[in-house]
Amino acid sequence: MKIAFYASSLVSAYWNGAATYYRGIIRNLAARGHEITFFEPDAYERQQHRDIDDPPWARVVVYPGTGDEGVERVLAEARHFDVVVKASGVGVFDELLERAVVELRRPNQTVIFWDVDAPATLDRLQHDPRDPFRALVPRYDYIFTYGGGEPVVRRYESFGARACIPVYNALDPETHHPVPPKPEFDADLLFLGNRLPDREARVEEFFLRAASLLPEKRFLLGGSGWADKPLPRSVRYLGHVFTGDHNAFNATPRAVLNISRESMAANGWSPATRVFEAAGAGACLITDAWEGIEFFLEPEREVLVARDGAEVAELVRALDAKRAQQIGRAAMQRVLAEHTYAHRARQVETILNDERGTMNETRTAVSA
| Domain positions in the chain | 2-170+341-367, 183-338
Q: What 8-state DSSP symbol labels residue 13?
A: -
CATH of domain 2-170+341-367: 3.40.50.2000
Compute the distance between CA of residue 271 and CA of residue 263 in angstroms, rounded to an integer: 12
Answer yes or no: same fold for 2-170+341-367 and 183-338: yes
Other Cβ atoms less than 10 A from the Cβ of 236: the count is 14
Residue 360 — very low, low, confident or very high, per pLDDT cuts 50/70/90? low
Q: Answer for the pair 270, 122: CB distance below 8 angstroms, yes or no.
A: no
Average pLDDT of the segment spanning 342-358: 90
Laid out side by side, the sheet with 59-64 consists of 59-64, 35-42, 2-6, 83-87, 110-115, 142-145, 164-166
How big is the CA angle at 294 (ends 177 and 206), to the nearest 5 degrees?
Answer: 75
Residue 126 — very low, low, confident or very high, per pLDDT cuts 50/70/90? very high
Is the confidence at residue 267, as pLDDT, over 90?
no
Q: What 8-state DSSP symbol labels residue 283?
A: P
Other Cβ atoms less than 10 A from the Cβ of 103: the count is 11
> For domain 183-338, which CATH number applies: 3.30.930.10, 3.30.360.10, 3.40.250.10, 3.40.50.2000?
3.40.50.2000
Residue 168 — very low, low, confident or very high, per pLDDT cuts 50/70/90? very high
Provide the mean pLDDT of the chain.
94
* pLDDT value at residue 261: 87
pTM (two decimals) = 0.87
